[in-house]
Structure 1
Amino acid sequence: MSFYAPSYPLARDTVDTKAPGTGKHIWQILAGAVGNVLEWYDFAAYGYFASALAKNFFPSENAALSLASTFGVFAAAFLMRPIGGALFGHVGDRFGRKQALLTSAGLMTLATFAMGLLPNYAVVGAAAPLLLIGFRLLQGLSIGGEFTASAVFLVERSDPRHRGLTGSFASVSATVGLLLGSGIGVIATWVLTPAQVDAWGWRIPFLLGILLGAFALFLRRIIVDDEPRHEAEQRRLPVVEALATDWPDILRGAVMGAAFAAGFYLIFVYVVTMVEQIDDMPAHPALEINTLSMLVLVAATPCFGALSDRLGRKPVLLASLAGLVLFSWPLFKLLLSPSFLTVLLGQSMFALIAAAWFGTIQAALVEMFRSRTRCTALSISYNVAYAVFGGTAPIIAIYLVNRLHADFGPAFFLMVIGAISFVAVLTMPDRTGQPLR
């Protein structure tokens, strides 16, 4: 028996209200989520091969400076996310969700494959880092629209009783993409020598991205059926209307997302480098730990999404942020251990805390915004948080550890920002199970 009695009307803009498990619903989920696998696989490959990229594009006698330059480009790509969110949000609100999904996936495929072909600093000199920066910015532009467009697509087509579960697959697919990137890293460091990885092995994940891209484009073209939104429906540009009418929710959503925007990249990108440099752990076991922890994240995320359908979005979101505030310091202490199992335990516990957030936040944000400007408003809100806090998190961590000699600095950073996001969630109206606005 369902927790929610079907006494409320379905949302006007809900296209497919079939329960999870039906054939059509499963294909819709796959079509909506597959682009996230591509986007986050390609985007994360940069973080996992940061050390090799630093040697090829930012050679320096100071290894810390070289790595910081590489993560600086990582951060620069995040600055493009709000722009990409506004751009693809406009496409999604004005011309339809399908067009936004197709365009973002195509752009990411092109940029990532081109990165795998780039000449390094030894071949073309200063042009090499400039080219790398250019394609990273295109990746940032693309991912700024992809994730939020897919979340809107999935939640709008869900039965109101299962929006949390269905929306969680946007996060699951993104984590699967990161998992694939980490898995490729494990295989590369296992099969190739460190010298081979630095010389040419780092190109492999970028070149393989074209396979995922082709599959995503094919599936979305044949499965997704979206009615375009004509210009007559909106007299103002979606971004203008969103900023004028939805700015309180845009601001609230950005502050809500700040903690795990920073936390995700500290836990699953920076930590790989941290355990190598601080714990002196070889790259292969460090990536193994990351891969196993993300398997925990993949398994737990839909469970928390389903839980939010029963308990409500706000309780689950508050619990995840409370866990981040209370446990960041002891879990970072585990991450700084030289023991494989201890580091794995610490990162897996972080994964469970993150799963509660990522399994719930997509439905909560879609329920927060109006249909007319939903893609644009949600994209701006979500991507501002990631631009300000996600892309800069590894640089802040490097600064706290190397310049202030504070190995636990990143933990305190997460605790402070987690408390701020906690307060923002307290102000959020909980619309679990209600018709979409």
Structure 2
Amino acid sequence: MHDRSRKTHNIVAATIGNTLEFYDFTVYAAFSTFLSQAYFPTGNPHLMLLLSTVIFGIGFLSRPIGAMVMGAYADRYGRKQAMTLTIWLMALGSLMIGVLPGYATLGLAAPLLLTLARLIQGFSAGGEMGSTTAFLVESSARDRVGLAASWQIATQNIGSIISGLGGIGLGACLSNTQLAGWGWRLPFLFGAIIAPVGFWIRRNVDETLHVGQTLHSMGTVISHLLTQMPGRIALCIMLVAGNTVAQYFFLYGTIFSIHDLHFPAAFSISINIALGVVGFPGALLGGYLADRHGPFRIVLVTRFLLCVLLVPAFMLLLAHPTPTVFTIVIMFLMSFHAVSTGACICLLPAMFPMKVRTLGTGLSYALGVTIFGGTAQPIFTMMIANTGNNLSWIYYVVGMLCISSLSLIFLWRMPGTRTTVACADR
């Protein structure tokens, strides 16, 4: 296989699982109303939806566990083997939701099995990120590490676009009765079908882990990381915190547009697609710029611009609360966030040597997403409800971006980190 074809194959192999992960994530959120009817028929619509979203959130709890187990596995036995296992786990979680009978058939076992499916999805997602990001940077050219890693972020947006288009297609082809009865299962079954394709692609990639640089057991990998590099883990968690809170700002924007601005419910699907269309090229641009000018500089500049623009942009929106203005504002802000996250992602694997790179990258990311991403939307909701101010939650986003950027400065000042972005020990 030619070198260019091999690099393309590596990118597709690594990112197909990440695309599937974010596809599953957005599909569950989009069809949570139907899931609540199938598995939580309490008779109270608000309670039903709340229970469905709680099960959704439970999936976050298993992400750090997946990152720990699969990260240690990938650092001991190889990125390829870990990537193969995680994509089958993703398929299992999607298939379970797609075929699981409802409460009317299984009773209490139905929501319990739904919870198990979400835990499996969270476990696989936690293990997927570290192994694929390590694989991307280790299989790339030394002057293309930023661009290679940015595909990890870019393909999250592809997952959003696919799920959004699928939602529109199902809405056009099926009635509400059909969607509520069985149509909502189709997107999950589609996700289960994608996974074998991903396995077939991944089985032909070359392993990037050097046998001579592995530790002798998974326990040693975990012990080495936690005892030798706790400071780097903490700084990387805070680095991820700014990205994930900002990401959930955009995801929450669809809820805000419906609940607080009273836009049509169908509007949320179009917004998710619009964000994906901006986020995909924006993330790749961020990776490209990181290779040219350094990731620290690009992330700091774009985060600063996002912080400065967030409040006035939303003040403009609240002064002219129309779907058109909302779409323009949210896509404009997304362009800065996408570039920032695309440039930032290559820093995580660069902070850890190859022998603990997957574990360090995946665990830092999973803990950052779980702690700060998993709590972001409840915090947004409580701030708006308690203050009565539709701008209050924006200040939380700005504050977290500023705090997170302090960790970026500390990482930049650490000995050797300015020259490790190319992951020289590979």
- Give the alignment's TM-score, normalised by structure 2: 0.91
CA deviation after TM superposition for structure 1 residue 399, in Å: 2.6
Out of 56, 68, 85, which is 2:50 matched to?
A: 68
Out of 404, 407, 412, which is 2:395 matched to?
A: 412
Out of 349, 354, 358, which is 1:371 matched to?
A: 354
**Which residue does the alignment assign to 1:255?**
238
Shift of the 297–222 alpha-carbon distance from structure 1 to 2, 3 Å rule, reads: same
**Which residue does the alignment assign to 2:415?**
none
Higher helix share: 2
CA deviation after TM superposition for structure 1 residue 296, in Å: 0.8
**Which residue does the alignment assign to 2:205?**
223
| Matching of residue 24 in structure 1 with residue 6 in structure 2 | yes
CA deviation after TM superposition for structure 1 residue 231, in Å: 10
CA deviation after TM superposition for structure 1 residue 219, in Å: 0.3
| Matching of residue 347 in structure 1 with residue 333 in structure 2 | no
Q: Contact 2:250/2:330 (CA < 8 Å) preserved in 1?
A: yes
Matched ranges for 1:177-326 at <5 A? 177-226=159-208, 229=211, 233-234=215-216, 237-268=220-251, 270-326=252-308
| Greater Cα shift, 178-187 or 369-378 | 178-187
Shift of the 189–392 alpha-carbon distance from structure 1 to 2, 3 Å rule, reads: farther
Q: Contact 1:280/1:338 (CA < 8 Å) preserved in 2?
A: no
Matched ranges for 1:135-214 at <5 A? 135-214=117-196
| Matching of residue 401 in structure 1 with residue 408 in structure 2 | no
1:313-340 Cα shifts (integer Å, max 9, x gaps): 1111112322342233334456666522
Give the alignment's Cα RMSD to 1 decimal.
2.4
- Aligned residues with identical type, % of pairs: 28
Distance in 2 separating the partners of 1:212 and 1:44:
16
Matched ranges for 1:18-167 at <5 A? 22-60=4-42, 62-167=44-149
Q: Contact 2:353/2:423 (CA < 8 Å) preserved in 1?
A: no
CA deviation after TM superposition for structure 1 residue 345, in Å: 1.0
Distance in 1 separating the partners of 2:2 and 2:70:
25
Query: SS at 1:373's partner residue?
Result: helix
Distance in 2 separating the partners of 1:66 and 1:328:
33
CA deviation after TM superposition for structure 1 residue 312, in Å: 0.7
CA deviation after TM superposition for structure 1 residue 433, in Å: 5.7
Shift of the 433–388 alpha-carbon distance from structure 1 to 2, 3 Å rule, reads: closer
Distance in 2 separating the partners of 1:125 and 1:230:
53
Shift of the 51–232 alpha-carbon distance from structure 1 to 2, 3 Å rule, reads: closer
CA deviation after TM superposition for structure 1 residue 310, in Å: 1.1
Distance in 2 separating the partners of 1:309 and 1:228:
24
CA deviation after TM superposition for structure 1 residue 227, in Å: 5.5
1:338-397 Cα shifts (integer Å, max 9, x gaps): 522111112212321221222112211111111111111111111100010112222222
- Give the alignment's TM-score, normalised by structure 1: 0.89
Query: SS at 1:186's partner residue?
Result: helix
Distance in 2 separating the partners of 1:224 and 1:283:
45
1:384-425 Cα shifts (integer Å, max 9, x gaps): 000101122222223333455343333122112111101111
| Greater Cα shift, 120-129 or 303-312 | 120-129
Q: Contact 1:17/1:157 (CA < 8 Å) preserved in 2?
A: no
Aligned length: 418
Query: SS at 2:411's partner residue?
Result: coil
Q: Contact 1:85/1:141 (CA < 8 Å) preserved in 2?
A: yes
1:113-158 Cα shifts (integer Å, max 9, x gaps): 1101122234333332222111101100000011221111001111
Q: Contact 1:84/1:141 (CA < 8 Å) preserved in 2?
A: yes
Q: Contact 2:346/2:421 (CA < 8 Å) preserved in 1?
A: no
Shift of the 402–200 alpha-carbon distance from structure 1 to 2, 3 Å rule, reads: farther
CA deviation after TM superposition for structure 1 residue 69, in Å: 2.8
1:153-212 Cα shifts (integer Å, max 9, x gaps): 001111121111111111112221122112212222333333433332221210111221
Shift of the 216–302 alpha-carbon distance from structure 1 to 2, 3 Å rule, reads: same
Query: SS at 2:419's partner residue?
Result: coil
Amino acid at match of 2:68: A
Distance in 2 separating the partners of 1:263 and 1:248:
24
**Which residue does the alignment assign to 2:424?**
436
Distance in 2 separating the partners of 1:249 and 1:433:
14
Distance in 1 separating the partners of 2:326 and 2:378:
21
Distance in 1 separating the partners of 2:324 and 2:121:
34
Distance in 2 separating the partners of 1:420 and 1:59:
42
Amino acid at match of 2:133: A
| Greater Cα shift, 134-143 or 120-129 | 120-129
Unaligned runs of 5+ in 1: 1-15
Q: Contact 1:121/1:127 (CA < 8 Å) preserved in 2?
A: yes
CA deviation after TM superposition for structure 1 residue 72, in Å: 2.0
Q: Contact 1:263/1:414 (CA < 8 Å) preserved in 2?
A: yes
| Greater Cα shift, 249-258 or 422-431 | 422-431
